[in-house]
Amino acid sequence: MSSIGRVLQQEREQQGRTLKEVSDAVNIKEGYLDALEKEDFDVIPGAVFVKGFIRTYAEYLGLDGAGLVTAYKEEVLARKPRPEVRPVAQSPERAGREKRQKERNRQSKWQGITILSGIILFLLLIIWLLL
Helix axes 4-14, 30-38, angle to 10 degrees: 120
pLDDT at 82 over 80: no
pLDDT of residue 46: 86
**Does the domain formed by 4-79 have CATH 3.30.70.360?**
no
Rounded to whole angstroms, the Cα distance separating 65 from 8 reads 10
Residue type, 99: K
pLDDT at 22: 94
pLDDT at residue 6 tops 90: yes
The pTM of this model reads 0.59
* pLDDT higher than threshold 50 for residue 1: no
How far is the C-alpha of 12 from the C-alpha of 61, rounded, in Å?
7
Average pLDDT (106-126) is 89
